[in-house]
Structure 1
Amino acid sequence: MLKAYKFRLYPNEEQKIYLAKTFGCTRFIYNKMLAERITSYEENKDLDIKTMKYPTPAQYKTEFEWLKEVDSLALANAQLNLDKAYKNFFRDKSVGFPRFKKKSNTNNYTTNNQNGTVSIENNHIKVPKLKSMIKIEQHRKFNGLIKSCTISQVPSGKYFISILVDTEIAQLPKMDNKIGVDLGIKEFAITSDGVFFSNAKHLKRSEKRLAKLQKDLSRKQKGSNNRKKARLKVAKSHEKISNQRKDMLHKVSTQLINENQVIVIEDLKVSNMIKNHKLAKSIADASFAEFRRMLTYKAKWYGREIIIAPSNYASSQLCSNCDNKSSQTKDLSCRIYICPVCGMIMDRDINAAKNLLKLAI
């Protein structure tokens, strides 16, 4: 089974120069090929898009010789990423057309482990085309065959490497526990057992400091060193918020996976939910989609089952005792569900979680 391990890198100045070159070359190849595809499509709209032939990264090396200085597998993977994005667009227009990569965005490239070109030894990692080994903070060991690795530089200036490994993952012992999980904003997750996982609201707690840093940045002269320093402070603040959020999501998802065999969650359409401008920031801060992604891959790793409730399943409006449907909970300020038929009184979120649990039973 494939599993990725992420570690921090500490490259020296020479290695930073090589990484910057590789980031730039892969970005150039991606943008160059995307521009040519757009031009070709506009000139040949009547032809089948699948029959069109495009240049490969190797063919560009005769015109741009500096591409030879970096890893050819990184350039090839840039082409594969574009192919995937292009096919996804023509398969489903809602995903959006591939966009050009900007230099200001997170820099990254992916390379493959061909003939052992990627290896770790004494807290240093060897990557293709680079003669010296890069220092790595390997905080945990792993066994298995390294398939590929992705090196990235985040806006705060830090370097990371994500290593994809083909390894064996020990399955958790099977159990009979089944649980329904209702997601919310006031409380992040509520289980059918009545357990509440609080919503830390990391962005909201850091908004004042972030606003001050953004204000300081806006006052700095463009191109100055003071502006670079201010931009770095903003980036580090955003990175801290992101890390806090991921830490919470990992802890909650891991606990649910460890304690339950079957987990039922809602099929939340986050893209539609954030159209509510009053709640958009809180919904985005909660990261429901990322939480679902974590539950899904962890369940696959450890032999658990995730059941996704149908999008039209009104878990909040149904009575978990008699199945009567009431529209009272359409008002988000209504926190207690009172059934007009059987008289049951229950917290609206626990009631919704119990209704979700019924899909597993």
Structure 2
Amino acid sequence: MTRIVTRTYRLYPDKTMKIVLDQLCDYRRCCWNQALELWNDLYDDRRILPFYAYRFVPNKNGIKEEKINLKTMPNWRLVRNMMVEQKQDWQYQYSAHLLQLAVQDLGKAWQAFFDKSQARQGNPGFKSKKLPKQGFKSDQAKLKDGLLYLEKSREYKGEWHPIKFKGRILSDKFGVLSITRKNDKYYLSIPFKVEDAKPWPKSGKYTAVDVNVGHFNYTEGKQLVLPKSLTKSYKKIAFYQRMLAKKRTVNGLIKGTQSNRYAKARAKLQREYEKCANIQKDLMHKFTIKLVKDYDKIVIEELSVKDMLMSHAASKGVHRSMFGTFRQLLAYKCEWYGKELIVANKLYPSTQRCANCGFVKKGDEKITLQGNQKHGTKHNEYVCYKCRYKNDRDQNAVKNLYALIEHPELNKAA
């Protein structure tokens, strides 16, 4: 059995290839926008035109009447063929595969929009050149000796060089390459086809993870998600945001975005965001791989993140704690290495249930972010009003989640 493993590498193009990569990113965006406009026009035509039309086609026996369906559902092949017929001379300087891959991705986006089984997504929109992240795809590129060889059109008369990248290649078999530009840096994403990893040896240990804003609690301790090393970076982010807000307006008008100082401040802000993201991704990968390596069964809770974001005070901390990323990384690593992931029901009262006697707090006895005003308890302590059991609120939640391993019948709303 094979599986897809995607690796991202940093590209180091020379001045000539930087211009080429920028042009390819612009051409990809142009193809996407043109295809989306054509796709929308085809949808509008289906509402106006009649269902069928007839035309007369000559054959051996004379003239035959042929029926034509005028309300054909738009698809990526139809849109691609129409765009190829409307190609202009300057477009022949670029590979035809760039146009085809852009239209294919647009078709996948429309398919995901109409698929009711997937999470609700908006309809595909037009791409803006102001977006900080741009990119394109290539299915004809080659990799050799740490160099990337992109496909060159026959009509292109300029210089064309291979591009250096650093990193180990996992396999000679790979899919469509993705090249992205972000903060004036270029990255290469390669989906490799590799053999399934052998399951890690069983340790005979189980654990449960209770996710919180800023830290994750599990049976053997606590893992910080927002370490103190990020405090300085977040202060810089707030400072650069204030700078941009001041530079954005000139004499009461929004004209400052075109100045060089504004561009420099925005670049500094983007670098700080990227630095924070890299630190947290590295931390998440190390923590999830530790859990998968040390434990055979892992219990986590399913959170309603949208409901948590309704609180203005906690929304920033929830975003930075990366609950969704943690579950995504842990899910595929458990699948790869033969470990079991148990997800608690969204309504399972892990915080309100007593780990000692099973009593569930309800109504005005519940623990909130402000604690419990009726009994005068703090938000970080759990006191059972039935058996007088006392413990830290997070540790009590970990014990309740851990109980689902031996008692799966409890995995439901109280």
C-alpha displacement at 1:32, in angstroms?
A: 1.7
Hey, what does 1:286 align to over in structure 2? 321
- One-letter identity of the residue aligned with 1:197: Q
Q: Does the C-alpha gap of structure 1 residues 306 and 65 become closer, same or farther in structure 2, counting only changes over 3 Å? A: farther
Hey, what does 2:233 align to over in structure 1? 206
Hey, what does 2:356 align to over in structure 1? 321
Could you list the per-position Cα deviations for residues 197-240 of structure 1 after superposition, in whole angstroms to 9, with x for gaps in the alignment? Answer: 12326765433312322333342743333332222111111111
Hey, what does 2:40 align to over in structure 1? 38
Aligned counterpart in structure 2 of residue 341 of structure 1, from 386, 389, 396:
386
C-alpha displacement at 1:66, in angstroms?
A: 3.0
- One-letter identity of the residue aligned with 2:339: R
- The worse-fitting range, judged by mean Cα deviation, of 174-183 and 338-347 is 338-347
Could you list the per-position Cα deviations for residues 37-71 of structure 1 after superposition, in whole angstroms to 9, with x for gaps in the alignment? Answer: 23333443598998334644354244333333333
* 1:84 equivalenced with 2:111 (yes/no): no
Q: Does the C-alpha gap of structure 1 residues 302 and 64 become closer, same or farther in structure 2, counting only changes over 3 Å? A: farther
* 1:238 equivalenced with 2:273 (yes/no): yes
Hey, what does 2:161 align to over in structure 1? 132
Q: Does the C-alpha gap of structure 1 residues 53 and 135 become closer, same or farther in structure 2, counting only changes over 3 Å? A: closer
Identity of aligned residues (%): 28
Hey, what's the Cα distance between the residues in 2 that align with 1:66 and 1:275? 50
C-alpha displacement at 1:329, in angstroms?
A: 4.6
Hey, what's the Cα distance between the residues in 2 that align with 1:347 and 1:39? 60
C-alpha displacement at 1:260, in angstroms?
A: 1.1
* 1:97 equivalenced with 2:142 (yes/no): no
Assess if the C-alpha contact under 8 Å between 1:194 and 1:350 holds in 2.
Answer: no
Q: Does the C-alpha gap of structure 1 residues 329 and 160 become closer, same or farther in structure 2, counting only changes over 3 Å? A: farther
- One-letter identity of the residue aligned with 1:297: Y
Assess if the C-alpha contact under 8 Å between 1:3 and 1:164 holds in 2.
Answer: yes
Q: Does the C-alpha gap of structure 1 residues 64 and 229 become closer, same or farther in structure 2, counting only changes over 3 Å? A: same
Q: Does the C-alpha gap of structure 1 residues 325 and 45 become closer, same or farther in structure 2, counting only changes over 3 Å? A: farther
Assess if the C-alpha contact under 8 Å between 1:318 and 1:325 holds in 2.
Answer: yes
Q: Does the C-alpha gap of structure 1 residues 276 and 240 become closer, same or farther in structure 2, counting only changes over 3 Å? A: same
TM-score (norm 2): 0.78
Hey, what does 1:27 align to over in structure 2? 29
C-alpha displacement at 1:29, in angstroms?
A: 1.6
Q: Does the C-alpha gap of structure 1 residues 300 and 63 become closer, same or farther in structure 2, counting only changes over 3 Å? A: same
Rg: which structure is higher? 2
Could you list the per-position Cα deviations for residues 174-205 of structure 1 after superposition, in whole angstroms to 9, with x for gaps in the alignment? Answer: 2322211110014x2111x2411123267654
Q: Does the C-alpha gap of structure 1 residues 144 and 340 become closer, same or farther in structure 2, counting only changes over 3 Å? A: farther
Q: Does the C-alpha gap of structure 1 residues 178 and 335 become closer, same or farther in structure 2, counting only changes over 3 Å? A: same
* 1:176 equivalenced with 2:200 (yes/no): no
Hey, what does 2:88 align to over in structure 1? 64
Hey, what's the Cα distance between the residues in 2 that align with 1:71 and 1:272? 46
For structure 1, list consecutive stretches of 5 or more residues without a partner in the other structure: none
Aligned counterpart in structure 1 of residue 295 of structure 2, from 260, 263, 267:
260
What is the DSSP-based 3-state SS (H/G/I as helix, E as strand, rest coil) of the residue aligned with 1:147? Answer: coil
Hey, what's the Cα distance between the residues in 1 that align with 2:300 and 2:286? 17
The runs of at least 4 consecutive aligned structure 1 residues that moved more than 4 Å come to: 45-50, 201-205
TM-score (norm 1): 0.89
Assess if the C-alpha contact under 8 Å between 2:28 and 2:102 holds in 1.
Answer: yes
Q: Does the C-alpha gap of structure 1 residues 336 and 15 become closer, same or farther in structure 2, counting only changes over 3 Å? A: same
Hey, what's the Cα distance between the residues in 2 that align with 1:72 and 1:330? 61
Hey, what's the Cα distance between the residues in 2 that align with 1:209 and 1:24? 32
Identify which of structures 1 and 2 has the higher relative contact order when contacts are C-alpha pairs closer than 8 Å and 6+ apart: 1
RMSD: 2.5
Q: Does the C-alpha gap of structure 1 residues 74 and 320 become closer, same or farther in structure 2, counting only changes over 3 Å? A: farther
Q: Count residues with an aligned counterpart.
A: 353
Hey, what's the Cα distance between the residues in 2 that align with 1:70 and 1:177? 56
Aligned counterpart in structure 2 of residue 4 of structure 1, from 6, 27, 33:
6
